[in-house]
A and B are shown apart, each in its own frame.
Chain A
Amino acid sequence: MISELNPQPLPPRSMERVRIYVDADVSYDLKRMNKVVANVLGKLGCGGCHSGRILEFLDMREFIVNPKTLDVEGRMGAQF
């Protein structure tokens, strides 16, 4: 049996076009799944269009757990 995820949190254009159907016999965390999809589809516009440094990748890499200490190394101001 297939059920459709609620697409409401998706960004305005993408949610009109992309839908995800999942097996209903797995207890999906639907709220998280919608957030995941919104995270991916919500920022597809023109990114490199100003004249400074964009730090999202640096923020992300500093957020990742240090494999030696298993500490999450959050960076101040990071969005992750």
Chain B
Amino acid sequence: MRPLGVGLVFWPELAPLLDDTDLVGVIEIEPQGFWEKLPCGNGACYRPNDGLLRNIARYPQPKLLHGVGQPVGGITRDPVDAAPSLRSAVGLLRPVWVSEHLSFNRTCRGAAITDAGFLLPPRQCPAGVFAAADNIARYGRVTGCPVAFETGVNYLQPRVDELDDGAWFAHVAEQADCGILLDLHNLWCNQRNGRERVPDVLARIPLERVWEVHLAGGMALDGYWLDAHSDAVPPELMELAAEVVPTLPNLGAIMFEILPQHLPRIGIDGVQRQLEQLAKLWALRAPNQATTTSTVHPHSAHPATAGARAKPDCDLRELAEWENGLAAAIRGDVVASCRFADLALDPGIAVYRQLIGDARRSNLTRALRYTMLLLLAHLGVDETEALLERHFTTTVPDAYAALEAEGFARFLRDQSALLAGAPHLAEVLAFEHALLRATLYAEPAELAWSNDPTKIFAALDAGRLPRGLPVARTTMRIAAH
């Protein structure tokens, strides 16, 4: 694959570094992070943020597109047609290649497709290989780009009835005839959490298919090491990467991942130092590296699709049982499948439950910021968490913050005693709910305030309950155009 250099996964907070093309040689974009999901007719549609993508496209560095919403490891496809938005992103960014996760994030029960709330590990079996290869071929057709899959994190314990991690990645890559995004932090997490050792995984996968390496830092939770993109790359992992990079003849990029929420931990200077370390890794590439695009290109011959079709006994029931069973275990429901009933006993289930809850709470924090601040200030942490839990146990997650928040806003609207007892909560909730509904449904609203709302928000921005504000009745109109 074409050698691009080292770079960053794009976040607006990292923009100060992007003008330095010596430091950042390639920019990777996760487009779904900037999409909105909107109700459309009886279903939904995605609204991409083309304005932002056009701005990113102006940077002179080559681009990569890294999908985080339509993973290729499962059998339940996104019920929302993502193809137009993906094609639009490709058209604007002209990525050298695209990648997606070898995970699943939705399950299908009857006619209902449910968001799992997180990227979950797929069933590592022969049927899963063919399903993944089929998905990867489709992804290549949609985007018109070479496709690589990301080697995923897996917080479950290894199973005797599954392909080991190295064999799983190898079979998918060969069957799909595609590239590999080698996420070394993911593999390192897996090793630390009891799965296959990184050297053993690397011994099994076709290293010539590795186009890209991801490096990141993580954090501990209940004895697990999480792929949290929350810190600098641990020194041990950096040393491991230095051993691995020279063995990758088609390596095209080494990327550092950090989420903007965690940027204050290392600062923009810390990111710069990470990039400088990645540049040293980049210099370790094998001298006889290939510099042209490899033959693996998913839409050149579609071998994966052909292979999947040729497989007569591709057992999709096994995959469906796994995906529904894992989702049920995480919800705390009975696992209907006998062969996967033991999933409920895996200690990693509690980790996924925690992470999905964190993701949902964070979505609400983003889209109902002031309502959440008021709840925390009025009820305290424990009661607020209990309130959230009551809502979560009766609803399914939505990865998109606006829809998740709109559901919680409707739930809160029915809590009349709470609204009556918490000063300003009803007004703040009505305001944020109106903003969400204007965004989602283009619905106008007229709101009444008993005080100057900016004073209420100022108090909340300072972490205080608004108290003793002078009465100032006013109205506000929210319009959607």
Contact = CB atoms under 8 A, between A and B. Distances in A.
B7 to A, nearest CB: 17
A19 to B, nearest CB: 5
Contacts of B141: none
Given A19-B481, A46-B32, A65-B463, A56 B439 contact: no
Interface of B: 30, 32-37, 47, 49, 51-52, 68-69, 103, 105, 117-119, 152-153, 186, 218-219, 221, 226-230, 259, 261-262, 264-265, 354-356, 358-370, 372-373, 376-377, 380-381, 384, 397, 399-402, 404, 432, 435-436, 438-439, 442, 452-455, 457-458, 461-465, 472, 474-481
23 contacts: A17-B480, A18-B435, A18-B480, A22-B477, A28-B453, A29-B455, A36-B453, A40-B436, A44-B401, A46-B68, A50-B229, A51-B103, A51-B118, A51-B227, A52-B230, A53-B354, A53-B355, A56-B366, A57-B362, A57-B365, A63-B463, A74-B463, A77-B264
B479 A50 contact: no
A47 B227 contact: no
A22 B474 contact: yes
B229 A52 contact: yes
Contacts of B33: 45-47, 49
Contacts of A17: 438-439, 442, 480-481
Nearest to B154: A51
Contacts of B438: 17-18
Given A22-B474, A64-B376, 17 more contacts: A21-B477, A21-B479, A28-B452, A29-B452, A32-B457, A46-B69, A46-B399, A47-B400, A48-B397, A52-B219, A52-B229, A55-B358, A60-B373, A65-B465, A74-B463, A76-B265, A77-B262
A48 B359 contact: yes
A31 to B, nearest CB: 9
A49 B68 contact: yes
Contacts of A65: 377, 463-465
B384 A36 contact: no
Nearest to A20: B478
A4 B266 CA distance: 40
B288 to A, nearest CB: 34
Nearest to A14: B439
Interface residues of A, number: 57
Given A32-B454, A80-B463, A16 B261 contact: no
Contact of A49 (B30, B228, B364, B372): B30
Contacts of A54: 259, 261, 358-359, 362
Interface of A: 2, 11-14, 16-23, 25-29, 32-33, 36-37, 39-41, 43-61, 63-65, 67, 70, 72-74, 76-80
Contacts of B186: 51
B478 A52 contact: no
Nearest to A5: B476
B367 A44 contact: yes
Contacts of B397: 48
A55 B463 contact: no
Contacts of A23: 474-476
Most buried by B among A27, A61, A79: A61
Most buried by B among A48, A60, A74, A79: A48
A29 to B, nearest CB: 4
A74 B118 CA distance: 29
Nearest to A58: B358
A46 B442 CA distance: 20
